[in-house]
A and B are shown apart, each in its own frame.
Chain A
Amino acid sequence: MADPTTDRLSDSFQIGRASRYAAPEFEDQSLPIIYGDLTIPSREKAGVYAPPKIDTAGDGVYCVAGHEIWGGVVLFDDDGRIEADNYTLELAQNFQGRGVIATAAFTTPPKGRVTAVCKGRKTAAGGLIENPAGIVHDLMASVWGFSEQDIDMQALARAATSAKGLGYRAGGIILDDHAPADVLTALLGDFLGRYEIDPFGRLKIHIAGGESFINAPQKVLPRFGQSHIEAEMARDTVINQVPALYARNYLGARYIKHDDGSATQNRSSQRLYGVRRPPKSPLRLEWVRRESVAATVQSRIVGRYHEPTRMLTIEDGSLRALEVEPDDYVAFSVPWMRSKKLEPLVNQIGEVIEVNYDLGEQGMELKIRDTGFFLTSSPLLDGTRILEGDWLLGAERDAATYA
């Protein structure tokens, strides 16, 4: 099947510019695409972006957003916050017959540069679009011109549920021509997510949820008896403190908020491995505006990486089709390795990181991240067992062979 989605995601998307109107101040200024709540964190002296002046007649008309918005508009000039009496706000106006945008028409001229905050695009039902998966859907279907058939809606729904469960709310502005792929990478990356194009040419997004029943293994891998297996643990995989910049200010390409990560650091990990931060520290969370969301992202990174990750590499001299793909959770068995309880590593749950096939050498290489979880046995309470304290119901490792 042809895969037009990949190419189109890499093609540059041309953002609307002020030149489409009769008398703009500067023709090259872009009409901002706004998502989420930019009023957070609260601002007293200036906004976080400069809306373009799209009509110089009279006291001027400014484009608050290049589309209809939810509201929450506050405008600022060189003297600070502008009284709402000084302008007429239209949250959805087909300005000069060139499409619906949000405008502010001044009745008293502002002093110097006008800046703004607002709440961005909304759903058909009128709700503010803040869920990162919701933003991806809206960008794909309403901004970039893709259809619903170009999106794996099940994966999108799962990602939306994960994001909602973790309290993720995104906010940001697109101010320039861009490849959709770049925006998707930046947006999803801020929430520990990613995207791929599936074999049907559809966009498939993932936002990592908690490692719980949601990630029950899709498949039990066969026991790789003759394969070369090795496990690697490296101190460089440890992250126990995550400094972060968030709440971007688009006026000067700066960030309003900084957190050194001390509230979410893991001190016991730091005692063992030293203070270890991400390679590119501080993290720049362009699509995060709230302290609580930044803290969730920081703590999830520390939670996952505060101990060295056991990464298994399995090299198998066959081209067996395992029917797994990156991000799948699988049950695997390497009985000569040991768990923390010194049990043979049987029916351990791992996350597939890579699957590579070497067609020339007829071999396969599989990389799996050990989650530390395992399949548990579930005995029937049918009188065949005596509950005398030597059993942990529901917590015993399942040693059965399934594949």
Chain B
Amino acid sequence: MKRATDQAVKDIAGHEGKTAHVLYHLSTAGGKRVFCGKQVPDSLIGQGGRIHFLDGSRILDGSLLLGEGAEVLLGAHDWIEDGGRFSLGAFQGLSILEAFREKELSGLTIAINNAPDMDGHPRMSRMLATEPFVGGRVDVRVGFSGQNISDVLSIASFTIRRIIERIESITIECEGN
């Protein structure tokens, strides 16, 4: 897990005047999708791995593995209807970060809107048909408007154990890692 930046710690401790964005990174064998409840600035999503543009700034002398560690970002979707919740019990930690990170999370349930896409097909149903969501991983991250990808804080990680598909919405049930 990457270290939290000072800005991330400051934001999570008190974020008056800033909007918190909760991001659900769903990683499957088919790639990664980011789901959220409202449109998120691109600066908070980013793309993992080392992407290098062959714009003359690098010499291909064998020191570089092109595409190494790259993730495929299939899309970012503001279709979350209910992002689930978890409660904090008695907290004996030393820092504000531990309030999120050190809790043992038993599960999370997310509801995603399955409204028709431009072709009139329920959009999540199309994805479920071709991408192996079950068994995939959900990383819950929090970022704040005005910040960038390095300040996005990862607060929990889950594995998808069950999906219920209905015409109006998709329910994704996860268990804590």
Interface set of A (CB-CB < 8 Å, partner B)? 229-236, 238, 271-274, 308, 336-340, 342
By secondary structure, the B interface counts as mixed
CB within 8 Å for A233 and B134 given contacts A336-B167, A337-B165: yes
Distance of A272 from chain B, by nearest CB (Å): 5
Interface secondary structure of A, over-half rule: mixed
- CB nearest neighbor in B for A230: B166
> Which residues of B does A touch, CB under 8 Å?
29, 121-122, 125-126, 128-130, 132-135, 159-167
Hey, which chain A residues are within 8 Å of B162, CB to CB?
A: 232-236
Whole-angstrom distance between the Cβ of B118 and the nearest chain A Cβ: 14
Are A234 and B122 within 8 A (Cβ)? no
| CA of A338 to CA of B159, assembled, Å | 24
- B170 → chain A, closest Cβ, in Å? 10
List of B residues within 8 angstroms of A229 by Cβ: 166-167
Closest to B135 in A: A273
CB distance from B28 to the nearest CB of A (A): 8
Q: Which residues of B contact A230 (CB under 8 A)?
A: 164-166
B108 to chain A, nearest CB (A): 15
Report B-chain residues with C-beta under 8 Å of the C-beta of A342.
Answer: 126, 129-130
Contact present for B132 and A338 (CB under 8 Å): no
B37 CB to nearest A CB, Å: 23
Complex Cα spacing A234 to B161, Å: 6
CB distance from B130 to the nearest CB of A (A): 6
CB neighbours of A338 from chain B (8 A): 121, 125-126, 128-130
- Chain A residues whose C-beta falls within 8 Å of the C-beta of B163 in the assembled complex: 232-234
**27 intermolecular pairs with C-beta atoms under 8 Å apart:** A229-B166, A230-B165, A231-B164, A231-B165, A232-B163, A232-B165, A233-B133, A233-B162, A233-B165, A234-B134, A235-B135, A235-B159, A235-B161, A238-B134, A238-B135, A272-B29, A273-B134, A273-B135, A336-B122, A336-B125, A337-B165, A338-B121, A338-B125, A338-B129, A338-B130, A342-B126, A342-B129
